[in-house]
């Protein structure tokens, strides 16, 4: 990996890849370098420890960690580093991700994990960009432009809603 790597994306299982890829897409949109790794807090704790111990030397500034079920991955990573950790609770079949959410958000004092919503890898990617933008003026400008674009999209939708009415608006959006 390149020396100026900035974000590490870690998932507890390759079955989480489809969700975690959304964070990678955001990072690519902002030209932020990243790497993706599978490392389970329970099935491969030695890989997690090795990964975290090498993270700073690899140039990682933020770690995004996603796991389902007991979802200890983000917390374990946060316990091993001073880097910011963003946890993504992954939706599970048994409890629809509520178990993952509570495990990720319920960290003890002194071991914070910034937690986004269930399967909200896109928000995790955006939060990672915002964290990196604190010390990167170009990235800050990109995130400002991104947020302005979001606002403009809402203005356009509102104009359309006012023009066509809610029934036609809903009908047209169902076709998308």
If you ran DSSP here, which 8-state letter would residue 107 be given? P
Range of the domain at 169: 139-174
Shared domain check, 88 and 40: yes
- Residue 2 placed within a domain: no
* pLDDT digit string, tens, across residues 60-115: 999 999 999 889 999 999 999 999 999 999 999 989 999 999 999 999 999 999 99
Same domain for 21 and 101? yes
Let me know whether 31 and 107 are in one domain: yes
Residue 108 maps to a domain:
yes
- The answer as to whether 1 is a domain residue is no
Q: What is the pLDDT of residues 26-73, one digit of tens each?
A: 999 999 999 999 999 999 999 999 999 999 999 999 999 999 988 999
Q: pTM of this prediction?
A: 0.93
In a shared domain, residues 23 and 38: yes
Are residues 90 and 157 located together in one domain of the fold?
A: no
Distance of CA 92 to the CA centre of its chain: 17
């Amino acid at each position: 990996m390149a020396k100026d790597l900035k974000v590490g994306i870690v998932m507890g299982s390759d079955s989480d890849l489809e969700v975690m890829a959304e964070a990678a897409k955001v990072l690519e949109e902002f030209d932020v370098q990243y790497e993706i790794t599978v490392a389970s807090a329970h099935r491969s704790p030695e890989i997690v420890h090795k990964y975290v111990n090498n993270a700073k030397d690899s140039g990682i500034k933020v770690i995004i960690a996603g796991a389902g079920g007991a979802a200890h991955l983000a917390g374990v990573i946060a316990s091993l580093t001073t880097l910011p950790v963003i946890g993504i609770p992954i939706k599970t079949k048994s409890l629809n991700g509520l178990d993952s959410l509570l495990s990720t958000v319920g960290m003890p004092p002194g071991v914070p994990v910034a937690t986004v919503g269930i399967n909200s890898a896109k928000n995790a990617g955006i939060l990672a960009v915002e964290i990196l933008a604190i010390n990167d003026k170009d990235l800050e400008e990109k995130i400002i432009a991104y947020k302005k674009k979001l606002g403009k999209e809402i203005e356009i939708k509102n104009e359309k809603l006012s023009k066509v009415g809610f029934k036609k608006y809903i009908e047209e959006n169902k076709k998308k």
